[in-house]
């Protein structure tokens, strides 16, 4: 897969910029989160894994200060030009605001590029699927800058730089999970990450006789960014209200019992539900990883299902199309668990499905979705891959 993608992006580089002599090609993966959704900015735990799909970047240094970008995923936009001088977000810069944001964030840390670049991009993460194409693009940019210019940054710092640039350059108030999963991915392992202090451990994913299946709803509601930022501020307000009566740094510090004992401090019913999700989801994630270590897939699946119910009812980030996919999945024999994954309002579900049930899963879920939504979903049986690399 990687080799073919590398050839494709090099060929395109030659086509667009005239020659591929001395061009380097880099890759960073997308991610799927198995459980622990909307906990990463609430000081809780997450459990993502890197995928073998992601973003490929072919790049060559220039002898001036110019930046020229071309994406095979947005080829109708052609070459988008800017400069390494005065990097700032611009509407007409479109998708290039993501790599430019990372360059800007490197600069903020005193790491300045001494020349411009020609860049061709090709991603095989479906756009708007919620599998973190933006984080993958940020991480591949950071990894490329480190390799080409010899900047002294760790992979964890690449994740932090990616998050910082998305928050402060692109105005999307995301947590650290997506960038961390992309930068720190490890084949056949998920990452059990405590977002409060970035302590983490790799947990081998041994799904004896089952696979991870991602189902793409093919819908992306425009709510994602605005509603995401709203949820974040609702949780921040709820946290401040709880801090008046408890000594906590984040919602992830509370057990369910502690939350129930103190929730009357939150002065708004909606905020109570948002905070409840953050607290309970964090505890579910801790229990899910424990279950996996004990080879108890059944419990892991039940916790995934409970996670979906909480995201649908308390956090209100699901949507009718996703609920159709999840409800249909729950009815298929051999489905261990299924839930929405990612920011919400469309995108994908993640399911753990027994090998012998995968065909029935595709057929039954596909049929239900076609009947109720009038669209055909896409199914990806995914593999867990490594973090960024040079090809």
Would you please indicate which residues are annotated as catalytic (active-site) residues? 178
Task: Please tell me the distance from the alpha carbon of residue 49 to that of residue 182, in angstroms, as a whole number.
Answer: 8
Q: Are strands 117-123 and 66-71 parallel, antiparallel or unpaired?
A: parallel
Task: Please tell me the distance from the alpha carbon of residue 309 to that of residue 323, in angstroms, as a whole number.
Answer: 9
Tokens 């940019």 belong to residue: 141
DSSP-based three-state secondary structure for 349: strand
DSSP-based three-state secondary structure for 213: strand
Burial of residue 222, with CB atoms counted within 10 A of its CB: 0-12 exposed, 13-18 middle, 19 or more buried: exposed
Residue 130 tokens, joined: 């919620």
Task: Please tell me the distance from the alpha carbon of residue 175 to that of residue 184, in angstroms, as a whole number.
Answer: 15
Q: For residue 350, which of 203, 193, 190 has the smallest C-alpha distance?
A: 190
Q: What does DSSP assign to residue 197?
A: T
Q: In what order do the strands lie in the sheet with 24-33?
A: 80-83, 66-71, 117-123, 48-61, 24-33, 389-390
DSSP-based three-state secondary structure for 354: strand
Instruction: Count Cα atoms within 13 angstroms, Cβ side, for 193.
Output: 32
CA angle 132, 369, 381 (to 5 degrees): 45
User: Which residues are CB-contacts of 236 (< 8 A; sequence separation ≥ 6)?
Assistant: none
Residue 343 tokens, joined: 């920011």
Strand intervals (E) in the chain:
24-33, 45-46, 48-61, 66-71, 80-83, 117-123, 189-194, 199-204, 210-220, 335-341, 346-354, 378-381, 389-390
Instruction: Count Cα atoms within 13 angstroms, Cβ side, for 375.
Output: 16
């Amino acid at each position: 897969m990687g080799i073919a993608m590398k050839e494709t992006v090099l060929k395109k580089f030659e086509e667009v910029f005239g020659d591929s002599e001395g061009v380097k090609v880099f890759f960073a993966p997308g991610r799927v989160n198995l459980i622990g959704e909307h906990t990463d900015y609430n000081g809780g735990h997450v459990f993502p894994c890197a995928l073998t799909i992601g973003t490929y970047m072919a790049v060559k240094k220039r002898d001036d200060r110019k930046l020229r970008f071309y994406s095979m995923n947005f080829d109708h936009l052609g070459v988008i030009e800017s400069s390494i001088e005065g990097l700032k977000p611009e509407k007409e810069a479109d998708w290039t605001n993501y790599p430019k944001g990372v360059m800007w964030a490197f600069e903020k840390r005193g790491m300045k590029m001494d020349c411009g670049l020609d860049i061709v991009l090709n991603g095989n993460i479906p756009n708007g699927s919620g599998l973190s194409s933006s984080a993958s693009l940020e991480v591949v940019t950071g990894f490329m800058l480190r390799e080409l210019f010899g900047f002294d940054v760790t992979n964890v710092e690449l994740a932090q730089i990616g998050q910082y640039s998305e928050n402060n350059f692109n105005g999307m108030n995301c947590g650290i999970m997506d960038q961390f999963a992309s930068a720190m991915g490890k084949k056949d392992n998920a990452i059990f990450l405590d977002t409060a202090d970035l302590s983490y451990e790799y947990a081998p994913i041994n799904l004896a006789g089952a696979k991870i299946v991602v189902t793409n709803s093919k819908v992306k509601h425009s709510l994602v960014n605005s509603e995401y930022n709203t949820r974040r501020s609702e949780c921040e307000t709820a946290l401040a209200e709880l801090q008046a009566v408890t000594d906590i740094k984040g919602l992830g510090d509370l057990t369910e019992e502690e939350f129930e004992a103190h929730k009357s401090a939150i002065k708004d019913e909606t905020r109570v539900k948002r905070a409840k999700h953050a607290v309970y989801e964090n505890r579910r994630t801790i229990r899910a990883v424990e279950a996996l270590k004990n080879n108890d897939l059944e419990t892991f699946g039940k916790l995934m299902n409970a996670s979906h119910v909480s995201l649908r009812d308390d956090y209100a980030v699901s949507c009718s199309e996703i609920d159709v996919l999840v409800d249909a999945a729950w009815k298929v024999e051999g489905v261990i668990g299924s839930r929405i994954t990612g920011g919400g309002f469309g995108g994908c579900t993640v399911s753990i499905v027994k090998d012998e049930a995968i065909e029935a899963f595709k057929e039954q879920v596909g049929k239900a979705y076609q009947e109720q939504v009038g669209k055909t979903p896409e199914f990806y049986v995914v593999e867990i891959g490594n973090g960024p690399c040079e090809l």
